[in-house]
């Protein structure tokens, strides 16, 4: 994992494409979340937030993981941050999830 992270950062430094790094961390978080590795998913989502702190998706995904781990204060904090950063995106994300009768 460490070598993958170092290689990814080298590519990002050379190309200047940090959005793909954010997507990488989100995908890793999603993978770990689907495997029920909630704590690991929180770590990955947090790295995505570090890369793009003004992007609501990282906060929404991490909120989902916090809720799954029973950390409801952190869940609420991340949901509030996502709403503050991008109310329209957050609303669409939540409505899309609710329409499928799944929880975030």
2-49 per-position pLDDT tens digit: 555 555 454 444 444 445 789 999 999 999 999 999 999 999 999 999
Give the whole-angstrom CA distance, residue 1 versus residue 54: 26
Decide if 78 is inside a domain. yes
Residue-wise pLDDT for 57-85, tens only, equals 999 999 999 999 999 999 999 999 999 99
CB 59 within 8 A of CB 93: no
Decide if 104 is inside a domain. no
Give the whole-angstrom CA distance, residue 84 versus residue 96: 19
Decide if 54 is inside a domain. yes
What average pLDDT does this structure show over 93-102?
58
pTM for the structure as a whole: 0.74
| Structural domain total, the chain | 1
CATH of the domain at 18: 1.25.40.10
Decide if 35 is inside a domain. yes
Domain of 95? 2-99
């Amino acid at each position: 994992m460490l070598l993958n992270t170092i290689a990814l950062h080298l590519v990002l430094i050379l190309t200047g494409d940090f959005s793909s790094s954010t997507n990488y961390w989100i995908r890793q978080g999603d993978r770990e979340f689907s495997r029920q590795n909630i704590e690991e998913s929180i770590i990955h989502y947090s790295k995505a937030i570090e890369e793009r702190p003004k992007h609501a998706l990282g906060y929404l995904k991490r909120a989902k993981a916090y809720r799954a781990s029973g950390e409801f204060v952190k869940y609420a904090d991340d949901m509030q941050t996502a709403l503050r950063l991008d109310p329209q995106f957050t609303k669409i994300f939540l409505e899309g999830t609710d329409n499928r009768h799944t929880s975030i």
